[in-house]
Structures are given as C-alpha cells and as structure tokens.
C-alpha cells in the first residue's frame, strides 16, 4: 500500500504542477494512524499531508458535488466501490463528469479500527498488512490479527470493480472470490414479522439522529432534505420519540431505493453501529428478484427499474418479497 500511496502522491503532484487540475481530492493524515480523513489538496505543499492506507475507507464521490462547482478541473482518487456512487451522481446530474478526472486506485479491503480495538488492542500506533495478517503495533505489545476479521463490514462482502477511470494506479490485483452479500438479508427474511420487528426496533432505537448516515450517503444528495423541510409534513414528526425507530431510517431507505449502490458508508459511519446497510440491501435484493439483476451506478446512463416502466414489469400481486409467509 505504501508503493501505491507514493505513486498516487506523485501523480497528484504532477497533475497540480502541470495545472491540468486545480485540485486533488484524496485523504490526509489524521491525529492517529487510523483516522485519515477526506481532503482537498490545492498545492504541492499540501500534499505532504496526503495519505493512502488501510484506513482510507471513506467514499470520496459525494464531496465532488460541491467541489465540482468550483473553477477548473478536479482529480479524485476512487476505490472500486466509490466509482458506483460516482456514476450514480453523474447520472442524477449532481456532478459534471467533464470537470472530474478520475484516478482509479486499488483497494484490497479497508480495516475497521472498531473491530481492531474490539479484538483487544486498545491503543493502536501502527498497522501493517502482510497478505492476511494484520500486524498491529501497540505500546502494550504487538498483535497479529486475521485480516478478514477486522475489515470494514462493507468490505467483507465487496466484489466491486472500477466502473469508471481516466487512469489507474493498481499495483496489486484483488484475488477473485465468491461473496454472498445477501446472506444477512436472508437471515432477516427468515424471521417472523414479530422477530424482525423486534430486531429492527432494538437496532433502530439506538439511533441518536446524528444524521451521519444521511450526511455521508452519496444517494442522500438533496439540496434540501425532506426531513429539514417544514412543508414536507414529516419534518415535525421527526421530533416524535418513536420516529427514528419507526420511520426515519425506513423513509431514508425508500428514498435511496433503486439508487443505493451498496457502498456501505451508512453503516461505517454510524456511531451506534446500526447495520443500516441491511435495509438498503433488502431493497436491492427485492429489485433484483422482481425486476432482474440491477446494480445502481454500474453506468451513468440508462433506465432504472423503479423509475421506468416496461410491459414485462412484474404485476404488484406477483411480486416476490422473499419473506417467510
């Protein structure tokens, strides 16, 4: 990953120096080794802070909505999963494709600091990944963890590939693998309605309405969210105690249905660890079942199953929802 970071930095420098782009969007160092954050670099000096490592899980595509409005071209580093969000945003005319230079970068799955800490390493000063070993340095002794145990939830079932690139920096190919991203959804489907309700009530009651899921979600890109609009008729209800349990996340899942690329950012940023991505995946699974396989963000053009009608569309009574009767 160090080599990749070096190459990325080199390219960013070259692009900025040549004036080809006015800025580069990437990640910069945080206070600790495990908290890099998305950042815009406008000068070569600023690139000193540039970082790309196993903690750069953040999806950069949503930042481009605002950044692309600025003068000049913007270069951005996109991981495979980010490119789907990027395409979807281009499709919804939220980003002007012409103004973005996309550099596809390798991913190899990102690490979840929460999982590392949960594995018993309370203070982390450095991390090195060698194949499937995650060597964590800590003042209390170094620990080696098994990588699949400590990757981000969204990375565990990821099989995404770069859908868009103007150039690429890929030194290591991710080995091909079989993943079943719907296994968790099927588990929920197999519950009785009461069990499922209890599950979600328990999960959603943890919600503190910090709005992190909404703010990070590339599909939640509205100029003004319905929840912030007093005229929508639902904003006031957001103050209701039961609201976040029963409606906020469900309405949000409906709003992003058919547009959610399954980037998994909602669950990654949730401070309460609510598995929000499962709501979206249920929609994705149902769309796949009822309208044929569809992956939002695979292209930046074409029709989407929920906003187009074809004669072969399933009739409401024939729809399969995969749930136990």
Partner 1 sequence: MQRIGVFICWCGSNISATVDVVKVAEAMKNEPGVVYSANYQYMCSENGQQLIKQAIKEHNLTGIVVGACSPRMHEATFRKTAEAAGLNPYMVEIANIREHCSWIHKDMDEATEKAIILVRTAIAKVKLNAPLMAGESPVIKRALVIGGGIAGIQAALDIADAGFEVDIVEKNATIGGRMAQLDKTFPTLDCSACILTPKMVDCAQHEKIDILTYSEVEDVKGFVGNFSVKIRRKARYVDESKCTGCKVCMEKCPSKKGLNAFNMNLNTRPAIYIPFAQAIPNVAVIDPEQCIKLKTGKCGICQKFCGVGAIDYEQKDTFVERQYGAIVVATGYKPIDLDAFNEYGYNDNKDVVTSLELERLMNAAGPTNGVLLRPSDGKHPKVITFIQCVGSRDSSGCGKPYCSKICCMYTAKHAMLIREKYPDTEVHVFYIDVRTPGKNYDEFFRRAVEQYGVDYIKGMVGKVYNENGKLMVQGSNLIDNEQVTIESDLVVLAAAIEPEPSVRKVATLLTASIDTNNFLTESHAKLRPVESPTAGVYLAGVCQGPKDIPETVSQASACAAKVIGLLVKDKLKTNPCVATPDESMCNGCSQCANVCAYGAITYVDKEFRIGGGKTEVRRVASVNPAVCQGCGACTVTCPSGAMDLKGFSSKQIMSEVEAICKK
DSSP-based three-state secondary structure for 38? strand
Q: Does 221 bind partner 1 (CB under 8 A)?
A: yes
Q: Does 229 bind partner 1 (CB under 8 A)?
A: yes
Which one of 19, 224, 239, 320 is in contact with partner 1 (CB under 8 A)? 224
User: What separation in angstroms does the CA of 193 have from each of 186, 199, 251?
Assistant: 13, 10, 19
User: Angle CA(111)–CA(113)–CA(119) in degrees, nearest 5?
Assistant: 100
Q: Does 308 bind partner 1 (CB under 8 A)?
A: yes
Pairwise CA distance, residues 93 & 74, whole Å: 17
Which one of 62, 94, 277, 282 is in contact with partner 1 (CB under 8 A)? 94
Which one of 307, 318, 320, 325 is in contact with partner 1 (CB under 8 A)? 307
Q: How far is the CB of 298 from partner 1 (least distance, A)?
A: 17
DSSP symbol at 244:
I
Which among 44-52, 99-107, 194-202, 305-313 is the span making contact with partner 1, rule CB under 8 A? 305-313
Q: Does 231 bind partner 1 (CB under 8 A)?
A: yes
User: Angle CA(12)–CA(93)–CA(249) in degrees, nearest 5?
Assistant: 95
Which one of 205, 232, 299, 300 is in contact with partner 1 (CB under 8 A)? 232
Task: Output 66 or 190, the one with its CB closest to partner 1.
Answer: 66
Q: Does 92 bind partner 1 (CB under 8 A)?
A: yes
Task: Output 44 or 234, the one with its CB closest to partner 1.
Answer: 234
Is residue 232 packed enough to be buried (19+ CB in 10 Å), middle (13-18) or exposed (0-12)? middle
Q: Does 255 bind partner 1 (CB under 8 A)?
A: yes
Per-residue contact flags (x/-) with partner 1 for residues 52 to 71, judged by CB under 8 A:
-----------------x--
Cβ–Cβ < 8 Å for 25, 39: yes
Which string of DSSP letters, residue by residue, matches 173-211? PPPP----TTHHHHHHHTS-HHHHHHHHHHHHTT-----
User: What separation in angstroms does the CA of 129 have from each of 6, 20, 110, 137, 150?
Assistant: 17, 34, 10, 11, 11
Q: How far is the CB of 219 from partner 1 (least distance, A)?
A: 8
User: What separation in angstroms does the CA of 313 have from each of 292, 304, 306?
Assistant: 10, 12, 10
Q: Does 215 bind partner 1 (CB under 8 A)?
A: no
Which among 18-26, 52-60, 129-137, 219-227 is the span making contact with partner 1, rule CB under 8 A? 219-227
Which among 74-82, 187-195, 232-240, 265-273 is the span making contact with partner 1, rule CB under 8 A? 232-240
DSSP-based three-state secondary structure for 100? strand
Q: Does 317 bind partner 1 (CB under 8 A)?
A: no
Which spans of this chain sit near partner 1 (rule: CB under 8 A)?
Answer: 69, 91-94, 221-226, 229, 231-234, 255-256, 303-304, 307-309, 311
């Amino acid at each position: 990953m160090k080599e990749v970071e070096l190459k990325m930095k080199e390219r960013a420098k070259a692009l900025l120096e040549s004036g080809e782009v006015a800025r580069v969007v990437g990640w910069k160092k945080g206070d600790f080794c495990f908290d890099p954050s998305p950042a815009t670099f406008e000068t070569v000096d600023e690139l000193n802070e540039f970082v790309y490592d196993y903690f750069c899980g953040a999806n950069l595509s949503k930042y481009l909505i605002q950044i692309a409005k600025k003068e000049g071209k913007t270069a951005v580093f996109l991981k495979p999963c980010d490119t789907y969000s990027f395409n979807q945003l281009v499709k919804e005319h939220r980003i002007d494709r012409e103004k973005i230079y996309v550099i596809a970068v390798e991913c190899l799955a990102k690490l979840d600091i929460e999982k590392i800490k949960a594995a018993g390493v309370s203070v982390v000063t450095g991390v090195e990944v060698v194949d499937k070993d995650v060597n964590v340095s800590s003042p209390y002794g170094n620990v080696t963890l098994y990588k699949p145990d400590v990757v981000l939830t969204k990375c565990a079932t990821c099989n995404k590939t770069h859908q868009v690139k103007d150039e690429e920096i890929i030194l290591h190919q991710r080995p091909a693998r079989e993943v079943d991203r719907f296994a968790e959804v099927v588990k929920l489907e197999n519950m009785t309605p009461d069990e499922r309700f209890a599950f979600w009530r328990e999960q959603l009651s943890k919600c503190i309405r910090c709005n992190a899921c909404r703010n990070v979600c590339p599909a939640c890109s509205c100029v003004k969210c319905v929840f912030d609009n007093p005229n929508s008729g639902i904003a006031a209800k957001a103050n209701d105690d039961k609201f976040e349990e029963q409606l906020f996340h469900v309405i949000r899942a409906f709003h992003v249905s058919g547009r959610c690329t399954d980037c998994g950012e909602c669950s990654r940023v949730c401070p309460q660890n609510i598995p929000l991505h499962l709501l979206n995946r249920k929609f994705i699974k149902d769309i796949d079942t009822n309208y044929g396989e569809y992956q939002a963000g695979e292209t930046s053009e074409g029709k989407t199953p929920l906003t187009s009608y074809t004669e072969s569309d399933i009739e409401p009574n024939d729809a399969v929802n995969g749930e136990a009767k």
